[in-house]
Amino acid sequence: MRRTVVRLADGRELVHFDHDGAPERTQVDTRPLEPRGAAPQLRHDPLLDEWVSVAAHRMGRTFLPAADDCPLCPSRPGYPTEVPSDDYDVVVFENRFPSFVGPPGDVVADGPFEHHAAWGRCEVVCFTSEHEGSFAGLSVERARLVVEAWADRTAELTSTPGVEQVFVFENRGEAIGVTMRHPHGQIYAYPFVTPHTRAQLESVRRHREATGRNLYDDVVAAELADGRRVVLESEHWVAFVPFASRWPVEVHLYPRRRVPDLAALTDAERDDLAVAYLDLLRRGDAFFGIPLPYIAAWHQAPVRQQRDDGALHLELFSVQRSADKLKFLAGSESAMGAFVNDREPESIAARLREVAGS
């Protein structure tokens, strides 16, 4: 693999990840871009003890452009894009419309309300220069290169001042809210530990106090022992539908060896991940016989808090509840956070096993 760092016209960083033998990436961004403005504002909700990024500039971000106007495709004569090169393998660059950006600053308190600049970083990960297609359509070699990019960015962002958690994810499909069809994902470097992770780690803490064991380890062991919800097993990875799944299609993927993040994976584990992940995504597309809209969320341990207790794992889920119907988060889910799943987890797993190799 070759790694090349360049700067875009407004100062943002772009990193090329290329297979050995690919051409040098030396093109320069010639667009007349203005320098980036101030960071969005991060506001604290005192009732939920959660942080919310207020990023009004994102209202003007690109929305479902035509293929000829895609900013994630390579640049071509007369149409410069976010990627100055005329081709690429995998690229990662700072988002032009970030929810978090910049170094740490002062925190302001006003009674029960706190706020500060939404420092951190948001990146876009382009899996391929091809506009059409999806991650599931990548070769194993290309998927392995994406895994390497994820691990590289996780390691670098984890060491960035002010960052407390790194989140690698992909939103796929307009039903999920995707605003660009080009196959891509994102990485958020948060200045706080996210609510989902805090809740999980609190459960992990209580379990350790009660049993002396790690809850993530015990969940994986219990799913393997039960077997009914296991979807696939490989040398280094295991996938299963969780016992209390919330979504019509949901599957979790864990390495057999507990590690805090993608950067901690060995080369062998990364090789195996490329194969297992492609397998899961292809089963997802076969579940209803349509391109499955999904969120692929890589949960990684926080940078500082309970890092030794954390466990890298993927939570892949979809709002698609049949070939022509979506699950909408209405009153109970949206207002109270109390999910109702219309599909038994065991039947989800059975279907994902059934469509293997489709």
Q: Which residues are catalytic?
A: 184
Range 196-354: architecture per CATH: 2-Layer Sandwich (3.30)
Edge to edge, what strands does the sheet with 107-110 contain?
50-54, 41-45, 113-117, 107-110
Q: Reduced to 3 DSSP states, what percent helix, strand and coil does the chain have, rounded to the nearest 5? A: 30, 25, 45
What are the tens digits of pLDDT across the range 94-149? 999 999 999 999 999 999 999 999 999 999 999 999 999 999 999 999 999 999 99
- Amino acid at position 353, single letter: R
Q: Answer whether 242's CB lies under 8 Å from 349's CB.
A: no
Helix (H) or strand (E) holding 15: strand 13-18
β pairing state of 249-255 and 313-318: antiparallel
Specify which residues 252 forms β-bridges with: 240, 315
CA 6/CA 21 separation, integer angstroms: 19
- Tell me the CATH architecture of domain 2-192: 2-Layer Sandwich (3.30)
Neighbours of 288 (CB within 10 A): 19
| Mean pLDDT of the region 275-280 | 98
The percent of residues above 70 in pLDDT, for the chain, comes to 100
What's the whole-number mean pLDDT along residues 226-238?
Answer: 98
* pTM of the model as a whole: 0.97
Span(s) in the chain for CATH 3.30.428.10: 2-192, 196-354
Q: Categorize the per-residue pLDDT at 357 as very low, low, confident or very high, splitting at 50, 70 and 90.
A: confident
